[in-house]
Amino acid sequence: MSKFKYILLAVAIAIVFVFFVGFGVASFYKTPKYEDFCGEREKFIDAITKQKCDELGGKWNSREVARPLERIDTNQLLCTKVSEKNDAVTLNCQTQEQIDNQGYCDRDFFCRGEFDDVREVYNRNVFIVATGIGIIALIAGFALKLASVSSGIMGGGILTIIYGTIRYWSDLPDFGRFIILGITLIILIWMGYKKISK
C-alpha cells in the first residue's frame, strides 16, 4: 500500500470512528432540549412592567439608566442629556414610572437554570463515556498489527477523547482541565515512543 493510501485510510477510520461514537451516544442518550424545560415562548418581553413580570414568574432585568442631569418639576420628568451640538442640548425625559419599568422580563430565568443543571450533568456523562471509549480505542489500536488500521483506530480514540472533553470543557474547573490534558499528553507521548521504538 502506498504511503498516501495508508494515510488516507487512517484518517478516514479516525473520522468515521468519532462520528460513529458521537451519533451512537446521541441515539441512546438523548440530549436535553431547552423547550422541554421552558416551553416554546418568547424569552424577552419588552412591553411589560416589573409587576406583571413577577406575576408571570419571570425575572425583571433593569437596563442601565443614566443619572438624571436635570429635573423638571412641572411635569415630574427626569431628564438625561442625549447629545450636545452647537450649544443645543438634546434631553431624553421620562417619568419616574417609565424609568422604573425600563428593562425587560426574562420569563425563562428560573427554568433556564434547571435546564443548565441537567445539561451540565448530561455533558459530564457524555465526557465520561467518550473518554472511556477513546481510551479503549487507543489501547485496541496500539495492539493491532496492521499499521493503517491501527493508526486510524488510535486517531479515532484521540478524537473521541477530544469530543468528550469539548462537551464538558466549559464546566470543568481549571485543575480538571490541567489533569485531563496532562494525562492525555503522557499517554500520547508514551504510545508514540513505543510505536516508534518498534
Whether pLDDT at 115 is above 90: no
Residue 136 near residue 153, CB atoms below 8 Å: no
Measured distance CA(92)–CA(94) in Å, rounded: 7
Kindly report the pTM of this predicted structure. Answer: 0.65
**Domain span at residue 192?**
3-39+108-197
| Residue 86, all three cell numbers | 452647537
Residue 81 near residue 69, CB atoms below 8 Å: yes
Residue closest to 138 by CA, chosen among 93, 191, 183: 191
Whether pLDDT at 101 is above 70: no
Cβ–Cβ contacts within 10 Å for residue 54, how many?
12
* Maximum C-alpha span of the chain: 91
Last residue of a domain, one of 79, 106, 133: 106
**Co-location of 74 and 149 in the same domain:** no
Number of compact structural domains in the chain: 2
**Co-location of 96 and 189 in the same domain:** no
| pLDDT 10s digits, 52-82 | 777 777 777 776 444 444 454 445 666 666 6
Sign of CA pseudo-dihedral 167, 173, 174, 175? negative
- What type of residue is 130? A
Query: Rounded mean pLDDT of 100-111?
Result: 73
